[in-house]
Amino acid sequence: MRDSPWTWTPGDSPGDFELRGDLTVAGQPVPLRLGGRAWGTLNRERDNAVLVCHHYTGTMRAAGLNPDGTPGWWDALIGPGRALDTDRFYVACLNTPGNVQVRDPEVVTTGPATPHPDGHPWGERFPAWTMADLHGAQCGLLRALHAPRWHAVVGPSFGGMQALQWAARTPALAPRVAAVVSSPVAGPVLRGVFGPLLHAAAQGDPDAALHETLRLITFFGLGADGVDLLFRDADVDAYLRTRTATADLRHVLDIGRAVQTHDLLEVAPLDDLCRHWREQGTRLLSVNVRGDQFFPAAEMRDFAAQTQAAGVAHTHLEFDSPRGHLGGLADTAAFEDALRELLGTAPMPPALDAAEVRHV
Amino acid sequence: MRDSPWTWTPGDSPGDFELRGDLTVAGQPVPLRLGGRAWGTLNRERDNAVLVCHHYTGTMRAAGLNPDGTPGWWDALIGPGRALDTDRFYVACLNTPGNVQVRDPEVVTTGPATPHPDGHPWGERFPAWTMADLHGAQCGLLRALHAPRWHAVVGPSFGGMQALQWAARTPALAPRVAAVVSSPVAGPVLRGVFGPLLHAAAQGDPDAALHETLRLITFFGLGADGVDLLFRDADVDAYLRTRTATADLRHVLDIGRAVQTHDLLEVAPLDDLCRHWREQGTRLLSVNVRGDQFFPAAEMRDFAAQTQAAGVAHTHLEFDSPRGHLGGLADTAAFEDALRELLGTAPMPPALDAAEVRHV
């Protein structure tokens, strides 16, 4: 937790807001402007705020309509009567630093491609922030809202990593956490395969490199079956050209690097994590897609087996999707009931005694 | 079929042989030396020869022991009493042009990294051969053996593509064909994703580029679940260094390009393929792994449904493997009975009337 001031100001459109503050990385303050969007109303107690964290190539447009008329990436889950019920909750989604869609006119973010206070792009001066720093910026949002804690922190993929970081770092501020198509750690697939291939794809002329990095992300996102399903009669490259229009290579690499710093066991040993969760009565929900090429389901399944054995209220679901990892965005019906239930429950009563639970 | 002479000469070790001849590409003869290895004995009628075609990074060492003491890549299928029974069949495996393992002292191949007749490497002068040319070279082996036809042509992955090319191009010479973890066409995954990413990974300093291309191939080979299974406690890069020792980047790209020319429907329209297979009594066996990242099972499943509907004797199997695509090498027990049955059956009696079959 950092004590620099963060300011929240409403934007031009209803629901839009902007968060300003300093991200302090390695002792150096980095002034950030991060755009966000919210749905529903913050209640008088300010205890009904839900933080939705976005995926790698996502933005604050979790719900509502995109400029091209398509729905937001979790629109099926967010709205009146939906799992993230905006009649009941204030649901906020904040762009990350280095947001990939930095050339999207609606997206406000700060990263290597945006101007430094000296007017030139940050470029390589933009610091190598980690998941801890991102959690710090999101803490800034919580404070700027004058909310005592989140009702829940949820998200898919990179967003699920962020939600888990909340559970690990500040369980008192995140009593309910849902991580969809995500993992407790950037494992061998992300660190040993995706990360190096991303850098290999980023070689050469920047326009081609952006195209190739998005090709890699698309493949990991869909898996071979998803690519075969969607592109047997369509052109992969034509699709990728629609994706490169608003993205920037430096931001693709910035998020790619940050994602690889995710490791809950570097936040705290498993025993400590489980003890905190029991003491706080934290409820965890994890949902994975079988055959996901970014996040092997076994990573979360094994982690859930360990937390459950340690007495943590951790529900783990798995489902099949023809779109692989992207099933976490496209096939929300598979887990909307679980999410609704998570948000509707009281936090677990704290465990009486850690040692007792551990030896049941 | 080309009419240049091909010569077969035994090598220093039992079972080793070398095929020499000209691969004629776009009218230009390219002198080839291709090493091979065989098990079992060619009978007096010379009608018991089985051609085993190797996968992308494979060599003629389909059976027996590798120099490091590990078994050949289909050793579990090839030997006395095994599915490819060497008491009954003469089983031959031939290196492809541009074999990836060109720096392996036992491997004999001709490609961009090997000497041109002028003494310098072929380099970019080595022609862009296709699956049709590879089929031509393998026809050279059949003729050099003075065999009237293959008893069967079989193989996994790229080897399965080759087997299918035999079925499509010269069904009279390949009455039984098995394609394992393969596809009737290099589809959107190979052409729209793997191929471009392979070229992106090949940018930069050649040693690093070879490492990155093998990283990509390894990922497609294992899938995320396989990578997670094998590398959660092991170093991907240390493994890749053991793979780069005998490989050459130019050959990785040479085979990568050739693979992408595979399309049975460019050999002949589906109706013609099915008619030839019915007329010749061809038996086809296809086996795929669910979740394979190189060859989506749906491609072959849909093709098999079409050939079966057209009266072709086509058996299609699918199975799960924790190693994804590499299950086609590692989990041979899943299909050894089907392969044994294929090799033990007589060719189908030819269909009496194509039109009649088509309208059943």
Which residue positions in chain B have pLDDT lower than 70? 1-4, 350-360
pLDDT digits 0-9 by tens, B314-355: 999 999 999 999 999 999 999 999 999 999 987 777 665 544
How far apart are the C-alpha atoms of B201 and B217, rounded to whole Å?
A: 10
* Same-domain check for residues B87 and B229: no
How far apart are the C-alpha atoms of A153 and A173, rounded to whole Å?
A: 9
Check residue A355 and give left, alpha or beta (phi > 0: left; psi -120 to 50: alpha).
Answer: alpha
CA geometry: angle at B51 spanning B331 and B165, to 5°?
90
Looking at CA atoms only, how far is residue A233 from chain B in angstroms? Answer: 9
Looking at CA atoms only, how far is residue A72 from chain B in angstroms? Answer: 26
Indicate the number of domains in chain B.
Answer: 2
Which secondary-structure segment (H or E) carries B229? helix B206-231
Answer for the pair B323, B226: CB distance below 8 angstroms, yes or no.
yes
* A136 alpha-carbon distance from chain centroid: 14
* Same-domain check for residues B231 and B166: no
Kindly give the interhelix angle for A158-169 and A131-144, rounded to the nearest 10 degrees: 70
State whether the Cα torsion B92-B98-B101-B103 is positive or negative. positive
pLDDT digits 0-9 by tens, B45-73: 999 999 999 999 999 999 999 988 999 99
How far apart are the C-alpha atoms of B302 and B298, rounded to whole Å?
A: 6
Q: What's the CA dihedral at A334, A337, A340, A345 to 10 degrees?
A: -130
B203 contact A CB<8A: yes
Phi and psi at A63, nearest 5°, equal: -135, 180
pLDDT at position A232: 94
How far apart are the C-alpha atoms of A174 and A89, rounded to whole Å?
A: 15
* Same-domain check for residues B179 and B33: yes
* Same-domain check for residues B211 and B311: no
User: Across the interface, which of B196, B204, B296 has its CB nearest the CB of A215?
Assistant: B196
How far apart are the C-alpha atoms of A290 and A324, rounded to whole Å?
A: 7
Domain that includes residue B111, residue range: 7-188+260-358
Q: Does any domain span residue B115?
A: yes
Answer for the pair A70, A31: CB distance below 8 angstroms, yes or no.
no
Q: Across the beta sheet with A16-25, what order do the strands follow?
A: A7-10, A16-25, A28-39, A90-94, A49-52, A152-156, A176-180, A283-289, A313-319
From the first residue on, what is the mean pLDDT of each consecutive set of 10 residues in chain A (360 residues)? Answer: 77 95 90 98 97 98 94 98 98 98 97 97 96 96 97 98 98 98 98 97 91 98 98 96 94 98 98 97 98 98 98 98 98 98 83 48
Q: Does any domain span residue A172?
A: no
* Same-domain check for residues B137 and B31: yes
Q: Does any domain span residue A102?
A: no
Residue A71: Cβ within 10 Å count: 15
pLDDT at position A272: 98
| Chain-chain contact of A212 with B196 (C-beta, under 8 angstroms) | yes
Residues of A labelled catalytic: 157, 292, 325
User: Across the interface, which of B197, B234, B237 has its CB nearest the CB of A201?
Assistant: B197
- Which residues, including other chains, have CB under 8 Å from residue A220's CB and lie 6 or more apart? A194, A293, A294, A325, B224
CB < 8 Å to B298, chain A: 225, 228-229
Nearest to A184 by CA among A300, A28, A298: A300
Phi and psi at A74, nearest 5°, equal: -125, 30
| Chain-chain contact of B189 with A228 (C-beta, under 8 angstroms) | yes
* Same-domain check for residues B103 and B21: yes
Q: Does any domain span residue A204?
A: yes
Residues of B labelled catalytic: 157, 292, 325
* Same-domain check for residues B181 and B197: no
User: Across the interface, which of B193, B204, B228 has its CB nearest the CB of A299?
Assistant: B228
Answer for the pair A225, A289: CB distance below 8 angstroms, yes or no.
no
The domain boundary residue, chosen from B259, B289, B318 = B259
* Same-domain check for residues B164 and B300: yes
Q: Does any domain span residue A203?
A: yes
**Strand-strand pairing, B7-10 and B16-25:** antiparallel
Q: Does any domain span residue A348?
A: no
Which of A157, A203, A210, A260 should one mutate to test binding to chain B, selecting the residue with the greatest count of B CBs within 10 A? A203
Q: Does any domain span residue A28?
A: no
CB < 8 Å to A221, chain B: none
- Cα–Cα distances (Å) from B42 to A204, B86, B145, B163, in that order, read 53, 10, 9, 20
Q: Does any domain span residue B2?
A: no
Kindly provide the residue ranges of all beta strands, DSSP E only, lying in chain A, ordered along the sequence: 7-10, 16-25, 28-39, 49-52, 78-79, 84-85, 90-94, 152-156, 176-180, 283-289, 313-319
- Tell me which residue has tokens 């690889």: A260
How far apart are the C-alpha atoms of B131 and B26, rounded to whole Å?
A: 13
**Strand-strand pairing, B283-289 and B176-180:** parallel
Answer for the pair B180, B156: CB distance below 8 angstroms, yes or no.
yes
* Same-domain check for residues B197 and B79: no
Nearest to B255 by CA among B6, B33, B59, B37: B59
Answer for the pair A74, A155: CB distance below 8 angstroms, yes or no.
no
* Same-domain check for residues B247 and B264: no
* Same-domain check for residues B157 and B24: yes
**pLDDT-above-90 percentage for chain B:** 90
B232 contact A CB<8A: yes
**Strand-strand pairing, B28-39 and B90-94:** antiparallel
B227 contact A CB<8A: yes
* Same-domain check for residues B311 and B249: no
The domain boundary residue, chosen from B242, B259, B276 = B259
- Tell me which residue has tokens 């291709």: B34
| Chain-chain contact of A200 with B196 (C-beta, under 8 angstroms) | no
A219 contact B CB<8A: yes
Query: What is the CATH classification number for the domain harbouring B53?
Result: 3.40.50.1820
How far apart are the C-alpha atoms of A151 and A125, rounded to whole Å?
A: 36
Does ipTM surpass 0.90 in this model?
yes
Which of B18-31 are b and which e, b meaning 16 or more Cβ less than 10 Å from the residue's Cβ?
Answer: bbbbbbbbeeeebe
pLDDT at position A93: 98
Specify the length of chain A in residues.
360
Check residue B173 and give left, alpha or beta (phi > 0: left; psi -120 to 50: alpha).
Answer: alpha
Could you say which residues from 169 to 198 on chain B have a Cβ atom under 8 Å away from some Cβ of chain A? 187-189, 192-193, 196-197
